[in-house]
Amino acid sequence: MKAILFGATGMVGAGVLRQCLVDPRVESVLAVGRRSCGITHPKLTEIQHTDFFDYTAIQPRLAGYDACFFCLGVSSAGMSEAKYRRLTYDLTLAAAQAVLAVNPQLTFCYVTGVGTDSSERGSSMWARVKGATENALLRLPFKAAFMFRPGFIQPLDEIRSKTRLYQAFYTVLGPLYPIVRRIAPKYVTTTTAVGRTMIRVAARGYSKPILETTDINAAAETQ
């Protein structure tokens, strides 16, 4: 398959990119981002793009792909609902509609998070917005769309979070990950598992459109 990747410079996106580059099912990857991910590889092409609400200038270059892995996201901390919705719902739908317009048979994979509110009516602002985003994506006429709802994601393969506080947390928890996974398997996964499962569902589909952490971990082991 040929895949488009948004968010390759982030922790989750970097994990997905690594799996794409080592998986023989992935023929090529087009990484779209504001800056280079700093990796050179025969499979990898990059487009540096600044306006994530308008893809008119680069849309022809988005054609000819089988899957889109959307790993962009921002924290809702300190944001109004209107701003968070702009940077989550509006931004994601702009990209989804742009790739769909030139790839009607594309499979779209989107990273949300555990606790996302599909009803869009709960008390948690971020969960409502994420739920609205999931619902809008599932209504688009993709070949297939899958929503990924991981809990805690442990970065592997020397991948690091750009957020210093988060990285400190990952560094401390890293050695304890096997214990944490045994205690709370429904809530912990890895960057490797997320990447493997995105490729797996893009290639083979999945039994349901929303994958919780347990689904991500199970599918990662059944390639």
Instruction: For 82-121, give the DSSP string.
Output: HHHHIIIIIHHHHHHHHHHHH-TT-EEEEE--TT--TTS-
Q: What is the CATH number of the domain that holds 75?
A: 3.40.50.720
Give the pLDDT score at 156.
80
Domain count, the chain: 1
Give the pLDDT score at 152.
83
Q: What is the domain range of residue 195?
A: 2-220
Q: Mind listing the pLDDT tens digit for each residue in 118-177?
A: 999 999 999 999 999 999 999 999 999 999 999 888 888 666 556 555 555 555 555 655
CA distance 61 to 19: 23
Ranges of the chain whose pLDDT falls below 70: 157-186, 223
Give the pLDDT score at 187.
75
Q: Which amino acid, one-letter code, is at 86?
A: R
CA distance 139 to 37: 31
